[in-house]
Amino acid sequence: MAVALSLFSAKSLTTAATVSPFPDNPKTLILEQCKTIKDLNQIHAHVIKTGYLFNPRVAENLLESSAILLPGSMDYALSIFRVIDEPNPAAYNILIRGFTSKQFPENALMLFRQMREDGVLPDKYTFPCILKACSRLRALEEGEQIHAQIAKFGLGSYGFVQNTLIHMYANCGEVEVARRVFDGMLEKEIITWNAMFAGYTKSGHWEEVVNLFDIMLKSDVEFDEVTLISVLTACGRLGDLELGEWIHEYIEAKNLKGSLNLITSLVDMYAKCGRVDTARKLFDEMPRRDVVAWSAMISGYSQSNQCKQALSLFHEMQRQNVAPNEVTMVSVLSSCAVLGALEMGKWVHSFIKRKRMKLTVTLGTALMDFYAKCGSVEYSIEVFEKMPSKNVLTWTVLIQGLASNGQGRRALEVFSVMQEKEIQPNDVTFIGVLSACSHGGLVEEGRSFFISMSRDFGIEPRIEHYGCMVDILGRAGLIEEAYQFIKNMPIEPNAIVWRTLLASCKVHKNVEIGEKSFHQLVTLGPAHSGDYILMSNVYASVGRWEDALNVRGQMKEKGIKKTPGCSLIELDGMIHEFFAEDSAHPHSKEIYSAIEGIMSRIKLAGYVPNTAEARLDAEEDEKESSVSHHSEKLAIAFGLIRTSPGTTIRISKNLRVCTDCHSATKLISKVFNREIVVRDHNRFHHFREGICSCNDYW
């Protein structure tokens, strides 16, 4: 400021008539040295006093410094604008640009309207800015009107205007119109192509990105790193590893590895194509990593179901003092949800609050989903109520969260509130609604929603919806109806549908339909160990031990191994992974060796673990004790591991928890006086003092 202000010193002012205080390049003197509104105020006061404000160049410079360079100074810019007698297009352009760049696109549009009313002619600089404002607002109608005016003013062939038109149409969801503008252009610059790529990228037309890139290559047009970033993003979404690797080779050959953004796209592409290790290698080799690079790698792990790695990379990011943003936290929370890491996720929540991060729709929804998946549905609701904006995913997560936590009725109430608010449900919402019905035993409601979804909402049921319907009928004991329902399905039933029915047959002891379902599963192949176990258990449920053993024999003959159970347990904020028969975990030895001793305590409490399934397991494999179930072992284990009183033990299992395990959990909660939460296929069972609080009617 020293230089600029010295221009207004008494000495300078006396010579103002001969030496202009605004020499050839006044911009460098005023604009670049105004760092705060206060600086601007001082200059403003001077120019008013000295009458320089009536010099259009002076006014424009002041306007530019306040509207473009300084943050949060649009009011100030407006006050300068208002005293300009007859503002020229340039003055309007500066303000329009200011409003657009400072996230007030509505004001930019209003000012543009005023400009037209005042009879000021927009020029080639006006339109790119005002189109950008339309883009931001997704104001298609306004954009179309402006397009018409562009044609009227004869600026339709101007490159800058056309490029922004492409961007505007694509951003407003009209990619096809954008493409028509693109195709109509005789001279396309790299930016033109990139605008089209960006349009396809924003609207998720990944296929088109790759197709257009193909055309670009064939027509020998040059491309740059911005082009490659868009194409790599598309490769990741499409799983097009071949093209992605080709671009990687090109980057190596042309030595473009210096671009941080480009390497981040490569990391993202490899992670999304399932090559997480390659992604990590590139990530580790980066000379510098910003928050986006870290987020891309963390989400890479999270999306490839390597959630422990995602969290450990997040910890590494913290150690390296890189500040995470909202996007990072979404992937971190989603990993916590998968792992059932309640304590870690709670910490993330407080971190978000402490850092005053914006509760965006995505972040809020991820937070809600995390709480719901960890069995804390009340916290999930609390977040929902605090969210400033919500979308269909937010409502869907709430419905699913309530449904999976045993509050089917409440989930349906939320669904009706959602309709009152005129939020259009989608196919996934209906999966939540139908699972609420299956969970709550609401058969009639389920039937009526199933009909309504296509009739009233135009959503054709997918295989998942049919699966839910089979679950609703099957769980309610309407096995025959469920079977007929499958037979009459207009789409081919898959293994999940038959497995659902088979599971119902076990609960309701229906051997006949159980056998039919099992037969379908074997025919559909490849056989799943769980299917054999289920069928065997159907026989066992009615005391047909020979048949039960026979099925297990078939499984052995075909060489189908039981998938080892894997459980993730969070204890005092640490995630432990336990595999069945695993001796690698530090706690395993102590756990398994102590099982015998614990058994006697359990027996004293009146529990007989030798149910049908355990007995079969024991007969099948001598090594296995009567406490043969993984969850059971874990439950016992956690009776052993010393935790502070009141610690919640959370067991999330990848496999369905059998009723036997449930009884073990119930018992442990009683014997060891612990609250135990079992997550079983996204259903929750909260056990306290031997009582399960959820309304599951298994």
Q: Does 302 bind DNA (CB under 7 A)?
A: yes
Q: How far is the CB of 225 from DNA (least distance, A)?
A: 5
Site residues for DNA, window 256-285 (CB under 7 A)? 259-262, 264-265, 268, 272
Site residues for DNA, window 325-354 (CB under 7 A)? 325-328, 330-331, 334, 337
Beta-sheet pairing, 675-680 with 683-688 = antiparallel
Residue position matching structure tokens 């890479």? 300
The region of 70-78, 194-202, 469-477, 505-513 touching DNA under the rule CB under 7 A is 194-202
> Which of 125/545 has CB closer to DNA?
125
> Which of 236/493 has CB closer to DNA?
236
The conformational region for residue 94 under phi > 0 = left, psi -120 to 50 = alpha, else beta, is: alpha
Residue position matching structure tokens 């919500």? 390
Q: Does 515 bind DNA (CB under 7 A)?
A: no
Instruction: Report the sign of the C-alpha dihedral through residues 184, 186, 190, 192, in that order.
Output: negative
Site residues for DNA, window 602-661 (CB under 7 A)? none
Site residues for DNA, window 232-261 (CB under 7 A)? 233, 236, 259-261
Tell me the Cα Rg of the chain.
33
- Determine contact, residues 433/396, Cβ cutoff 8 Å: no
> Which of 129/402 has CB closer to DNA?
129
> Which of 90/478 has CB closer to DNA?
90
> Which of 370/485 has CB closer to DNA?
370
> Which of 267/503 has CB closer to DNA?
267
The region of 106-114, 193-201, 310-318, 578-586 touching DNA under the rule CB under 7 A is 193-201
Q: Does 164 bind DNA (CB under 7 A)?
A: yes
Q: Rounded to a whole number, what is the distance in angstroms from the first to the last CA of the chain?
A: 75
CA separation for the pair 439, 434 (Å, rounded): 9
Q: How far is the CB of 370 from DNA (least distance, A)?
A: 9
Beta-sheet pairing, 566-571 with 648-653 = antiparallel
> Which of 84/478 has CB closer to DNA?
84
The region of 388-396, 470-478, 581-589, 642-650 touching DNA under the rule CB under 7 A is 388-396
> Which of 464/481 has CB closer to DNA?
464
Q: How far is the CB of 249 from DNA (least distance, A)?
A: 18
Q: How far is the CB of 309 from DNA (least distance, A)?
A: 15
Strand order in the sheet with 675-680: 574-579, 566-571, 648-653, 675-680, 683-688, 691-692
Among 396, 405, 438, 517, binds DNA (CB under 7 A): 396
DSSP symbols for 539-567: HHHTT-HHHHHHHHHHHHHTTPPPPPPEE
Residue 510, Cβ density class (10 Å: 0-12 exposed, 13-18 middle, ≥19 buried): buried
Q: How far is the CB of 311 from DNA (least distance, A)?
A: 14
**Alpha helices of 65-125 — where are they, by DSSP H?**
74-83, 89-101, 105-117
* Cβ atoms < 10 Å from Cβ of 392: 14
Q: Does 393 bind DNA (CB under 7 A)?
A: yes
Q: How far is the CB of 325 from DNA (least distance, A)?
A: 6
**What are the E-state strand segments in 611-672?**
648-653
The region of 153-161, 529-537, 562-570, 690-698 touching DNA under the rule CB under 7 A is 153-161
Q: Does 391 bind DNA (CB under 7 A)?
A: yes
Q: Does 189 bind DNA (CB under 7 A)?
A: yes
Beta bridge partner(s), residue 633: none
Site residues for DNA, window 77-96 (CB under 7 A)? 89-90, 93-94
Among 40, 175, 181, 195, binds DNA (CB under 7 A): 195
Q: Does 567 bind DNA (CB under 7 A)?
A: no
Site residues for DNA, window 409-428 (CB under 7 A)? 426, 428
- Determine contact, residues 442/407, Cβ cutoff 8 Å: no
| 208 to 227: interface string for DNA, x by CB under 7 A | ----------------xxxx
> Which of 297/513 has CB closer to DNA?
297
Q: Does 110 bind DNA (CB under 7 A)?
A: no
- Within 13 Å of residue 641, how many CA atoms lie on the same side as its CB? 22
Q: Does 34 bind DNA (CB under 7 A)?
A: no
Among 376, 394, 504, 631, binds DNA (CB under 7 A): 394
Q: Does 230 bind DNA (CB under 7 A)?
A: yes
Q: Which of 67, 99, 93 is nearest to 80 (CA)?
A: 67
Among 374, 397, 433, 434, binds DNA (CB under 7 A): 397
Q: How far is the CB of 115 from DNA (least distance, A)?
A: 11
Among 125, 347, 351, 457, binds DNA (CB under 7 A): 125
What is the dihedral angle through the alpha carbons of 532, 537, 539, 545, rounded to the nearest 10 degrees? 100
Per-residue tokens: 325: 């943003």
Q: How far is the CB of 236 from DNA (least distance, A)?
A: 7
- Determine contact, residues 488/521, Cβ cutoff 8 Å: no
Per-residue tokens: 581: 């028969």
Q: How far is the CB of 284 from DNA (least distance, A)?
A: 15
| 451 to 490: interface string for DNA, x by CB under 7 A | ----------------------------------------
The region of 49-57, 180-188, 295-303, 345-353 touching DNA under the rule CB under 7 A is 295-303
Q: Which of 141, 204, 136 is nearest to 164 (CA)?
A: 136
Beta bridge partner(s), residue 687: 676, 692
H or E segment and range at residue 128? helix 126-137
Distance of CA 201 to the CA centre of its chain: 17
Residue 75, Cβ density class (10 Å: 0-12 exposed, 13-18 middle, ≥19 buried): exposed
CA separation for the pair 405, 684 (Å, rounded): 5
Q: How far is the CB of 238 from DNA (least distance, A)?
A: 12
Q: Does 165 bind DNA (CB under 7 A)?
A: no
Q: Show the 3-state SS of 173-227.
A: CCHHHHHHHHHHCCCCCHHHHHHHHHHHHHCCCHHHHHHHHHHHHHCCCCCCHHH
Q: Does 435 bind DNA (CB under 7 A)?
A: no
> Which of 18/389 has CB closer to DNA?
389
Q: Does 56 bind DNA (CB under 7 A)?
A: no
- Within 13 Å of residue 60, how many CA atoms lie on the same side as its CB? 15
> Which of 302/628 has CB closer to DNA?
302
Q: How far is the CB of 469 from DNA (least distance, A)?
A: 19
Site residue total, DNA (CB under 7 A): 79
> Which of 39/189 has CB closer to DNA?
189
Q: How far is the CB of 426 from DNA (least distance, A)?
A: 5
Site residues for DNA, window 350-369 (CB under 7 A)? 360-363, 365-366, 369
The region of 184-192, 313-321, 532-540, 565-573 touching DNA under the rule CB under 7 A is 184-192
Among 137, 292, 489, 522, binds DNA (CB under 7 A): 292
- Determine contact, residues 227/210, Cβ cutoff 8 Å: no
Q: How far is the CB of 364 from DNA (least distance, A)?
A: 8
The conformational region for residue 222 under phi > 0 = left, psi -120 to 50 = alpha, else beta, is: beta
